Every structure is written in structure tokens, then in C-alpha cells.
Structure 1
Amino acid sequence: MKKRFLAAVALSATAVVALAGCASGTSAGSGGSVTTLTHEQALTAKSAKDFGGMAGLEAAAKKEGHLNVITLPPSWANYGKIIAGFEKKYPQIKINSENPDGSSADEVTAAKSQKGQSTAPDVFDLGTAVMNQNLDLLAPYQVQNWSKVQDDWKDSTDSKWIYDYTGLMSIGYDSKVFPKGIKKLDDLLQPQFKNKVAIKGDPTQANEALSAVTMAALQSGGSVSDIQPGIDFFHKLKQAGNYLGTLPTQATVASGETPVVIQWSFNNVGWGPAAGSQGNPNWKTVVLPGTGFGSYYNQAINADAPNPAAARLWEEYLYSPEVQNLYLAAGAYPAMLPAMKKDGTVDTSVLKKVGDAPSDFVQLDADNAAKASALLTSEWAAAIG
């Protein structure tokens, strides 16, 4: 999916060397006994316990002083507030945010091309199809709240990934341009939509774009195990002259350059009036009738993270009720939501505002994601060529 201000700031080499040169041992801190790990040991830490607990993990992350994230635009699932919250909580750790409008494939490319460099991503936010093709890049790690995510929403075997949040695939449109609205998918084939319908990139590389094709399949008689009808729909859209190859962003929506965008509901909502002066005040979001399509994004740690302690602290932060509620506030349903409703940590005022997560949506399992990815690799270029 094309998600997500190129800000590739070089890490301090001295901080990395200092960490790598530390001898493993224990020391007493304000939180009690903590364990000091070498850089190599931190790379294989499987929980906060390996650092002697959260106090040790926090101390190690502060010593590294940097965290590299990738493809996390501020308008995506409340990541602007989430990143700001981390930096406020841990001012000793500077977040370097790279390629916000990139894709899951871009995350993988960056990890491979920058391996061994201080600028490589520490953590991933990946779509399932791309993730399943690159499991060798991921490090096993269980956050403290691991048990609060149901077993089939995490890697219960190797602990390499865990669901984080989802939305529903939706159509966002400029209601000033299309006052009659959009009621069904085939409306987009009409002449008034000529050169106006965009998706978030190339579905062979971007999970959000793949999800747009899958949603089109569900609306066209297909299923999660057969997305060919979705590819066929986009072929018809291209033949009608309505498919727009421009990569949509909040800026292109605000300017009117991309007046129709098929993307996650939390992004369409976030690019409209909710964005204030940066949004499009006429932007409407519609989730079409019928079976909805969702896709949880997966959190994972780079096995070769230049800042392995900061990477693990970031994951602990993301799976705190505080941040899970920030996802929810953006209309991105967090993976811990069922548990938070039970233990009373969900922000009920936010939940009332956004509504509960739908129970009738479908998503691609690992086998379907692999099948869909293979089909798109062989068919997509011809479909929109």
C-alpha cells in the first residue's frame, strides 16, 4: 500500500559504537535491577525481560538516542500524534521518519539496501502480503501486552509479527464535484468520472492498493480467494478513461487533483473536514453496501535494526492502551480493542464517536494474500496498460 517526509537524518556513530562496546551485566536503577546488553544481544532480545524489565529497556533505548521509522505519514491512523507522544515521553530519543508516502515494498527495499547502515529502518508497519514474503527480515519479540491480542492475530509460533490496526476499504470523493454522491462501484465507470479515480499506488507493491482491488472484487461477484473480478473492474475503469495514475495524498485531495480516492476509511476521514485547514471541507467517505473489506497492518522489528532497544521500546509504546486509543480516535480499529473493552481501558467517548468495529468484514488470510499477490504480478500491468 502506498502509505505514508523524507527526513533521513544520520545517526550518531558514537552512540552506536558506545552501545556495541558495552559489556553485558546488571545494574541498579530507579526501577530496580536492569540488564545492560551489547548491541548484538539487544538484536536478539525477545521481550523486555531480557533487558531486566521496562526500566532496562528504556535505559538502553535512551542510550541509543534514535529510532528510525518508515512510511508513517502524520495523517495515517493518527501517526502524527503517536510519534509526537513518543518523543514527548522519551525526549532523549530522536525519531527519524523516512518516506511517509512509501509502500510496504519500500520498507522492505530500505531494510535490504541500507542493511548495516545507521539509516536502516528499525521497525516495520507492513501489509500481510509483503510481510509474508519477507519473514526472514523480522526479529522475534513479544510486547508486554502480547496476550491481549487474540492468537490468530499474531505470530503464535515465532513471535515475528502482530496485528496492530485496521480500517475498511472506502471511497472518498469531493462532494462539490459529485453532488449526487457514489452509491455503487459501477458509478465510477460513468463519464463524469473521467480521469478522476485514484488508488494508493501499485497493488503489486502496496497493500492499500491491493486492498482496493480486493474491495472491487467483492463488489463485482468475486471473493477474497478470487480477486480477478477486481482486476477486471480496474481494466474497465482504465478503458473508460476514468483511472487516474496520480498517487493521491492529503495535498492532492485538498487541491482537487484527485477528486475520488479508493483507500482506507481512516485515511479518507482524515483527509476531509477532520484535517481542518489542511483537509478538503467537501470530502465525503462512503463504505459501499455488501461485504466490507478490512486488512490489519502488522507491526514487526527489523532483525538488523540499527537501534534494537529503541525499536522494542517503540513496539511496547504502540501496544499501550494510550496509543491503541489514538488509533481508535482516527477510525483505525486497534487489535487490542476487544481486550480493552473487557478491561475498561478503552476510551468510551472515542468508541461512541467512531462506532464499534464491524463484525461482518472479511480480510485476506496468508494463503489468499499470497494468491492475490501472484495474480496481480501476472495480470495488473496488462489490465491498466
Structure 2
Amino acid sequence: MTVRISAAAAMILTATIAGCSDPAPKNEQRLPPVNPQAASLQEGFSTLDRLIEAAKREGSLTVIGLPRDWVNYGEIIDSFSDEYGIKVNQVEPAASSQREIEAAAQLKPDVFDLSLEVAVANAPMFAPYRVQQWQDIPDHLKDYGGRWYAGYGGYMSIGYDPRKVAAPASYADLLKPGYSVSLPGDPRQTSAAFNGVMAASLSGGKAEAARGVEFFGRLKKAGNLAATERTASVVVDWDYHNAERAAHEANGGQPGWKVAIPGDSVLSAYYVQAVSKSAPHPAAARLWQEFLFSDRGQNLFIKGYARPVRMEALEMRGTLDKELAARLPVTNAKPVILTIPETDTAKTYLKREWALKVR
């Protein structure tokens, strides 16, 4: 009798244990297989943890055109690698946007960081992927199909040495005696210099290449156009470059470089992110995008004096690092972003007229 009771009890206990353990594997089975080529986290991985696991199995990520001293990319790369244990291979860090595209077949990067016009022109090279914060990115700064999307940007600014010149209240002030003005390169070849010319041309919220070229022609005629940045008291450049220079000089204990963003409108531009359609590490590439667009990643861009695309959303949700944001140059100007046709038309004009009118 005792033996029968024990056997029955054992059967009940075994059934109970089996019944209790059934739900876990069933729940696990309900998750679809991982698809590293999917166009969203939900479609390809179901959860962020599964994306992280897939990326860790790949073990590596290859990036191109990301100098460590550019908008804090050094810390961003290190933070990503430390967080997920994924090795980040940096190839051709000084590559321009166009060079990134040209070198892709040989160097096989997983992700791209590109100017808007280069991204649009080469969209077929990119795999669609919408990050979790997709709705925070303004419609005019992302591809409808998810192939590219703005990550960070900046405003064109006037950096100046207050020990040599007064703070300029407008671009027109740069025509006054005593100013020595430089661009960061040849505007026919360098994107920042091109945008400097277009920024100086803003009138009524609209940029016009002819007006910009004419302005720099007047600077040249007045003797106010410097040959190099080293000899200039003023540099027209993106605010993240000028602000970083100001911070560097301040850290050196000298009250040096200052940054001004004059006017009611300011020229703005963004760099966009994209996943390579032939990425050797597709899961790591998608995890990289999720990291860049996370609150942490976006705040790390601010630390590099760039303006993250989700800045307004961060502020609304209380996740903006206010101490870092307070270091950005202050302005109430309305951002103006050139369209692709406007950029193409302006660049064609500069190539034709710059040498003739700025001598």
C-alpha cells in the first residue's frame, strides 16, 4: 500500500514539474528566427537583447570615414565596443563621403557616415533599417524607405579671436577694416568651405550662390580674405569645429577663440547614417545604428559639439544632458537646409565663377 502511494505521488510530482516547465520553451518557440537583414529591430530580432546576441556572435564592426577627433567619434566608438564587447575596425578615418563610397567594394565597411547629397546619390548601396527612434527624426532628414537618416549636424558659424577683432554682429561686419577672414579650404572642393560661402549669402532665409561669391569677392578686394586659417582672425566654419577650438583654447588657460552665429537664419546641414547592403556584419551594423540614435549615443554627439537629430525629442523627454547642451553656441536663428537641387546648382555656379570673381 505504501509503495503504491509513493509511486502515485511520484507520478503526480513528475507531471507537475513537467507542466511548470512547459511554458518557457513554448514562449521561446513563438519568437521567429533572427534575420540580420531585416529592416527593423522588431522584424529581424524581436528584442534588443536578441540583436545584441547576434551582433556579439559576429564579433566585429567595420566603420569608415570616422576620425576619432570628429564630433567625439573616438569616445562613441570606444563606448560601443566596451558596452557590447564588439571590436570596431576603423578604416580610412580621413575619407570624405565620396571616398567612402568609392572604397566600399574594396574595404567592405558595415556602415556609412555621409553628407546628405552623397547618401541620396548612392541610396541603392544601402540596406533599409529603421531604428527604434525613427519617429523622432524629421521627415525631411530621412529616406522614406529607411535607407539613410540624419544622425547629427551643425550650424555654420563665425569663429573669431576677440583679442584681435570685435564680435561680428553680421557677416557684413567682416568687410570692416581689421578683419582677416578664412574658409576651411577651397569652396569648390571642401564641403565646409562651400557651406561657408552659402551661409554668408543668406538673405530672407534663402541662400544664393551668386550672392555668396560676390560677398567673398568684396572681402578679397578689401584685403580681408586671409590665405590660410593660421593667419586669420576669423574662420567661417561649422559651429562644432569652432566650438571645439574655443574649448581647446579655454582648457589651455587662455581666453581665446569665440563663436558667433549672427542673423535671423542660419545655414544648417546634417550627416546621415546608413547600413551597407553588403555589410559583412549585418547585426553589428544594425546595433551600431541603435546605439547612435539612443539617448546615450545622441548625448555623446553633443559632447563633441554636434547637434544630434533627436535633440528636441531628448529635451521633451527629459533625457537631454543639459550640461553638455549648454556648451553649444547659442542662437535663436531659424535653421535653413539646402535641398539637393539647390546644392547641385550652387556647386556648379562656384566651379564656374569662383576663380573669376574671387581673385
TM-score between both structures, scaled by the size of structure 1: 0.73
- Map residues 318-329 of structure 1 onto 2, 5 A cutoff: 318-329=292-303
Partner of 1:99: 93
Q: In the alignment, is residue 262 of structure 1 matched against residue 262 of structure 2?
A: no
Cα distance, 1:137–1:258 mapped onto 2, change above 3 Å? farther
- Partner residue in 2 for 1:64: 58
Per the alignment, residue 232 of structure 1 pairs with 214
Q: Cα 1:198–1:368, aligned 2, differ >3 Å: closer, same or farther?
A: same
Partners of 2:276 and 2:125 lie apart in 1 by 6
Letter in 1 for 2:235: V
User: Which residue of structure 2 aligns with residue 137 of structure 1?
Assistant: 125
By how many angstroms is 1:323 displaced? Answer: 1.5
How many angstroms does 1:277 deviate by? 5.3
CA distance 1:184–1:293, change in 2 (3 Å) = same
Output aligned runs, 1:107-126, within 5 Å: 107-115=97-105, 117=106, 119-126=107-114
Partner of 2:182: 198
Provide the rounded CA distance (Å) in 1 between the counterparts of 2:269 and 2:166: 29
Asked if 1:175 is matched to 2:162, the reply is yes
Q: CA RMSD in A?
A: 3.4
The partner residue of 1:87 within 81, 100, 115 is 81
Distance 2:166 2:335 in 1: 26
Query: Residues 343 and 186 (structure 1 numbering): CA distance in 2 closer, same or farther, change over 3 Å?
Result: closer
Contact 1:166-1:334 at 8 Å conserved across structures: yes
Pick the structure with more helix per residue. 2
CA contact (8 A) 2:198 2:207 kept: no
Q: Which residue number in structure 2 is paired with residue 308 of structure 1?
A: 282
Amino acid at match of 1:378: R
Q: Could you tell me whether the CA contact under 8 Å between 2:261 and 2:331 is conserved in 1?
A: no
CA contact 1:160–1:301 (8 Å) conserved in 2 = yes
Pair 278,60 (structure 1): closer, same or farther in 2 beyond 3 Å:
farther
How far does residue 319 in structure 1 lie from its aligned partner after superposition?
0.3
User: Where in structure 2 are there 5+ consecutive unaligned residues?
Assistant: 1-24
Aligned residue among 287, 306, 323 for 1:332:
306
Q: Is the 8 A contact 1:76 1:270 kept in 2?
A: no
Matching residue within 197, 204, 215 for 1:213 = 197
* 2: CA distance, partners of 1:201 / 1:93: 34
Question: CA, structure 1 residues 365+276, in 2 after alignment: closer, same or farther (shift >3 Å)?
Answer: same
2:264 is matched with which residue? 290
TM-score normalised according to structure 2 size:
0.78
1:374 aligned onto 2:338: no
Q: Is the 8 A contact 1:189 1:240 kept in 2?
A: yes
Shift of 1:215: 0.5
SS at 2:274 equivalent? strand
1:341–1:112 distance in 2 versus 1, CA, 3 Å: same
- CA shift at 1:300, angstroms? 1.8
Q: Deviations over 1:186-236 (max 9, x none)?
A: 44345644xx53323343454322221111111xx4864522111222233
User: Across the two proteins, how many residue pairs are aligned to each other?
Assistant: 332
Instruction: Check 1:239–1:84 CA distance in 2 against 1; reply closer, same or farther (3 A cut).
Output: farther
Secondary structure of 1:147's partner? helix
Q: CA deviation at 1:267?
A: 1.6
Change (3 A) 1:357 1:233: closer
Question: Which residue number in structure 2 is paired with residue 45 of structure 1?
Answer: 38
The one-letter code sitting in structure 1 at the alignment partner of 2:152 is Y
